[in-house]
Chains A and B, each alone.
Chain A
């Protein structure tokens, strides 16, 4: 199974900050990498697919990059509604696997 490792596990930031979350795969997954946002008590929401494509309806302050084993999710200017937990997920091979999550908290 492909292991996905996110860093950091948690992060404190302020409204307006630029934030970057990293996801590393245990082997190359090309661009088969997705990012999700999850708020407490809610289902995950797809933000970015295929490493860098913005899902319809997602604000343009979210962006993704990377290929192979190293990927990043960037939020260009944090908004109050962005404080949540973020997960990466690889769809290169079965079983699909998720990172452990990055909890983004208000500083």
Chain B
């Protein structure tokens, strides 16, 4: 069974940093692109960042470029999101999602971790 479990969310002050993790199991992690997608309270879904299976290709939304860094450790079946210079508008539930490159779809999602940026 595919499982994605996020952790690392919490309350942080504006300008602060946080590192999210996503532990994957039930599939060959090193064969899939992985993504972070966020959802602000009461709002829709916003793609944040993606990383290819071997970390060769990395992309960011303009809203987080230069502040967030995505990475992965295939030996540990883990995905990360380092978030720096956090702003109030980064407040959201952050989901880790597996991306099926062949089908171009987010086929499995974690349960999400809440990041709140507030003074």
Q: Is the interface of B mostly helix, strand, loop or mixed?
A: strand
Is B50 a contact partner of A94 (Cβ separation < 8 A)?
A: yes
A96 to chain B, nearest CB (A): 5
Which residue of A is nearest B47, CB measured?
Answer: A96
Which of A11-19, A42-50, A67-75, A76-84 lies at the interface with chain B?
Answer: A42-50
Does B11 count as interface, using CB distance less than 8 angstroms?
A: no
| A20 at interface by CB-CB < 8 Å | no
B105 touches A91 (CB 8 A): yes
Q: Is A89 an interface residue (CB 8 A)?
A: yes
The number of residues on chain B lying at the interface, defined by a beta carbon within 8 Å of a beta carbon of chain A, is 19
Flag if B103 contacts A95 (CB, 8 Å).
no
Question: Which residues of B line the A interface, CB within 8 A?
Answer: 44-47, 50, 59, 61-62, 95, 100, 103-107, 109-112
Summarize A's interface: helix, strand, loop or mixed.
loop
A window 34-63: CB within 8 A of B: 34, 36, 38, 42-46, 49-50, 53, 55
* Shortest CB distance B96–A (Å): 9
Interface size class of A (residues with CB under 8 A): 20 to 34
Is A98 touching B103 in the complex (CB atoms < 8 A)?
no
Q: Indicate if the CB atoms of B112 and A34 lie closer than 8 Å.
A: no
Contact among B62, B104, B106 with A44 in the assembled complex (CB-CB below 8 Å): B106
Contacts A34-B105, A49-B105, A94-B50: A43 and B111 contacting too (C-beta < 8 A)? yes
